[in-house]
Amino acid sequence: MAAATPGRVFIAQDHAIPGILDRMAADLRADGIEVVRGPVSIPGRLGVLAPDMARDLLHGVEVAMFTSRWRCDRAVMAAGPRLRAVLAPAIGVETIDVAAATELGIAVGHAPTPQNYTSMAESTVMLMLNLLYGLRRTEAVMRGQRRAPAWGEHHARMLQGKTVGIVGLGRIGHAVVERLRVFGVRFLVHSPHADRGAAADDLHFVDLPELMAGADLVGVFVAVRDDNRGLIDARMLRCMQPHAYLVNVSRGDAIDEPALVQALQQGWLAGAALDTFAVEPLPDHSPLRGMDNVILTPHLVGHTQEAQASLVEAARENFHRVLQGGLPVYCRNPRVAMAWAQRPGMLRAT
């Protein structure tokens, strides 16, 4: 990578991932780039910069990074007249108004690195196997907290031969499918924007109610937008079989959480594994915390060492590319290129 042109950038502060953002900022400062940081996000609240603060923080800023706990809307982007690109530190860009950015000639970059989506896929398979095999219950026997099961009482079930529902066939969904094929499972897929013509023959595309009713395991991998928020609602949960399991590693807003609590309490499904929640961190009073048929992880299940390192490197590359006059390596809105070239500062030397 060529040496960076010195510039001014903004990186939001996020209470959930301070280490990775601090590392990104330190690396950029070591490259001679001025880094501005904003206020720390508040747990359980989606932050948005007030107009005056946005103007102050984005003054002279050419590239800004916002996480999923900060909203970057048209007003925020308009507050930075020299802004050329808005970046997300990982895959999701649901809190960035991509359409507004495109209209304003601002590129949107993110980090769908192979290490990132592969880690999420591997951890999804791990969660599915944990649900089927009931690892915690088996471990409790070893610790003397449960008696060993008698004949006919074994709880573990094989993954082989099961039907797996894939809700959202993006990078993570595809990677999950690739890893599950060796188990000899059947796939039901609901992904309205997927290219069915390019999909493998073993992927059976169905509507969502049919998927929920026919799957032994349902994995949710959608990018949450206004039109699919709460996609897995009470009606969808009632379609599930009593022995089926639900896994969500996308965003908490993909599922109607109160409806899921009711479904788990009333036995509409056997259990769930959740890495994301409507409010993060998950409140102490959440009924989910007291359920023994739920695996809970704090939005960290796929955060491997390899994935974290790849996100730092992808962010550094995206920042440098924009400061040197190029689009981000991972550009979410490539059709912005013509309008983007007219943004202020694009003729600076590289």
Question: Strand 8-13's sheet: what is its strand order?
Answer: 34-40, 8-13, 63-65, 85-87, 107-109
Which phi and psi angles does 70 have, rounded to 5°? -135, 135
Active-site residue among 69, 84, 190, 299? 299
Comparing CA positions, the residue from 73, 69, 70, 66 lying closest to residue 89 is 66
Q: Are 207 and 215 in contact (CB under 8 A)?
A: no
Q: Which helix (H) or strand (E) holds 271?
A: strand 271-274
Active-site residue among 122, 280, 306, 317? 280
| 196 assigned to active site | no
DSSP state of 211: H
**Interatomic CA distance for residues 141 and 148, integer angstroms:** 6
| 280 assigned to active site | yes
| 179 assigned to active site | no
How many angstroms separate the Cα of 174 from the Cα of each of 134, 160, 283, 331?
Answer: 25, 19, 32, 20
Q: What is the DSSP string of 26-90?
A: HHHHHTT-EEEEEEEP-TTS-B---HHHHHHHTTT-SEEE--TTB-B-HHHHHT-TT--EEE-SS
Pair of tokens at residue 134: 């009931």
Q: Which helix (H) or strand (E) holds 109?
A: strand 107-109
**Interatomic CA distance for residues 222 and 45, integer angstroms:** 21
**Interatomic CA distance for residues 66 and 47, integer angstroms:** 10
**Interatomic CA distance for residues 161 and 176, integer angstroms:** 16
Q: Are 13 and 38 in contact (CB under 8 A)?
A: yes
Active-site residue among 174, 251, 320, 321? 251
**Interatomic CA distance for residues 229 and 41, integer angstroms:** 22
The residues assigned a catalytic role are 251, 280, 299
